[in-house]
Structure 1
């Protein structure tokens, strides 16, 4: 899978990193213009070349979703954030009460990213690694499974601290490897998987049950929070999901759908569950 390699460094002071988002500064800011072949969505960055990364193919539990900054169980949001920073090479991370990093050792960590594009928010969607890059910066390289396994994206799935969340731009060979890593972590009940109820059923009694107790796929969390804000009974939730119109495919059946109501069901009035495992779904980018 050809992906653009950009060499640079990670710096977290003054930011609020989480388990799937971190700041990265390109050694050559001009190389951001190469993302997406120069004709796709632009990566938003400052004059020094600093941009926000959204780590491809993984989704950590939410730390501050929406205007009310709703979060998922903090035990796992914090664990994912801490493991990501550790995997990149940061230690002794100090934070303010609002989670803004005030100091870390070292101040910057050299690394690289592998990317094919940006999301609708201007974040670079990337595989991320630290240390010596596997090629020349500013050039496309072939990203195989061996390279994928050196990235923090792969590491976070093996640790069971993020969910697999796939989009169509990810090549099949890489998706298959990441799905296998997630499945192995789930079967070992590693990390969040020991508490996950995405497919077994989450008892939803109100927002506090989502923010403090229930461990589910972040995309399902976001949709459920948005619905609960409408103060309507859960019996109408499938209709709401139909209106949101998430587009995705189910790999095991080959079916293509619009709306998560095709893979989400409400039972007993307050139980919400997905009928497919997260790695069985491939979403279309918004």
Structure 2
């Protein structure tokens, strides 16, 4: 996968880090303009020179979820980067190909230094990806896979097979994951009490409780499919080689909601 190597300093105190996000101060901010940009330009903080990164290929539980996995993922993220805590800083680099809709580089994140030239265009293969913090968080079961269509198949396949292995081994979130088995919805107040589920689905439920057209009706899941259709989440089901939408693979039975496919079997269309 063609990516740009950008060196800098990880500065978690410049923002609010979590399991798949951290603030990063590039040594040469102009290198961010070498990334594919089709929407918002990179959002660099003019006061501290940092930008928020979005980790490629993974998705951590939201901090408001019931289990402690979100805080564990955050702490482990910092540790893997070589940081002693939120107020620490350390050198590292990212390998990125694009900037997302919110102005964040979608990145594979690496601790330490490299002799490669800052701004180099390189090809990221699965072996090198395994050195990334992204992969290490997935391998110990603290994050879910989250794939978009700009991620090259050989990288996605490696992340997917690792996810299946970690699930089978019962590590991290997986023994308590209810994505396919389903969770019971009891209105907005139940959101923070739900067992772990695919974070993308959790966020859609959270937004369902906030959107003006739906928040007065969100005590039940009766209108959730209608809400999902407004999001236009186009996806590809790998095992069936077909395109569909997120709304069509969400199963709702009275007040129980689940996904019909495993997270690693789903590839989202990324709108840049």
What secondary structure, in the 3-state scheme, does the structure 2 residue paired with 1:13 have? helix
Alignment match, 1:249: 236
Q: Do structure 1's residue 55 and structure 2's residue 48 form an aligned pair? A: no
Separation (CA, whole Å) in 2 of partners of 1:189 and 1:199: 16
Shift of 1:254: 1.2
Alignment match, 1:281: 266
Separation (CA, whole Å) in 1 of partners of 2:262 and 2:148: 15
- Partner deviation per Cα, 1:176-223 (whole Å, 9 max, x = no partner): 111111111111121111110000111111233321232111110111
Instruction: Work out the number of aligned pairs and report it.
Output: 264
Distance 1:39 1:61, change over 3 A: closer
Q: Do structure 1's residue 144 and structure 2's residue 125 form an aligned pair? A: yes
Alignment match, 1:97: none
Q: Any conservation in 1 of the 2:67–2:195 contact (CA below 8 Å)?
A: no
Moved more, 40-49 or 163-172: 40-49
- Partner deviation per Cα, 1:55-87 (whole Å, 9 max, x = no partner): 011110112xxxxxxx21241110110110111
Alignment match, 1:42: 41
Which runs of structure 2 are paired with 1:1-286 in the superposition (5 Å)?
1-36=1-36, 41-47=40-46, 49-63=49-63, 71-91=64-84, 93=85, 101=86, 103=87, 107-133=88-114, 135-229=116-210, 230=215, 231-232=217-218, 233-258=220-245, 260-267=246-253, 269-286=254-271
What secondary structure, in the 3-state scheme, does the structure 2 residue paired with 1:191 have? coil
Shift of 1:117: 0.7
Q: Which sections of structure 2, spanning at least 5 residues, go unmatched?
A: none
Shift of 1:228: 3.8
Separation (CA, whole Å) in 1 of partners of 2:27 and 2:41: 18
What secondary structure, in the 3-state scheme, does the structure 1 residue paired with 2:240 have? coil
RMSD of aligned Cα (Å): 1.7
What is the TM-score normalised by the length of structure 2?
Answer: 0.91
Separation (CA, whole Å) in 1 of partners of 2:189 and 2:156: 34
Separation (CA, whole Å) in 2 of partners of 1:193 and 1:237: 25
Separation (CA, whole Å) in 2 of partners of 1:40 and 1:244: 18
What is the TM-score normalised by the length of structure 1?
Answer: 0.87
What secondary structure, in the 3-state scheme, does the structure 2 residue paired with 1:190 have? coil
What secondary structure, in the 3-state scheme, does the structure 2 residue paired with 1:156 have? helix
Q: Any conservation in 1 of the 2:129–2:155 contact (CA below 8 Å)?
A: yes
| Consecutive aligned runs of 4 or more in structure 1 exceeding 3 Å deviation | 38-41, 46-49
- Partner deviation per Cα, 1:129-187 (whole Å, 9 max, x = no partner): 00123732111111111110000010111011111010011000100111111111111
- Partner deviation per Cα, 1:17-42 (whole Å, 9 max, x = no partner): 00000011111122122122x77752
Separation (CA, whole Å) in 2 of partners of 1:145 and 1:117: 18
Distance 1:43 1:14, change over 3 A: closer
Distance 1:133 1:73, change over 3 A: farther
Shift of 1:46: 3.4
Q: Which sections of structure 1, spanning at least 5 residues, go unmatched?
A: 64-70, 94-100
- Partner deviation per Cα, 1:75-133 (whole Å, 9 max, x = no partner): 11101101101110112x2xxxxxxx4x3xxx321111000111111011100000123
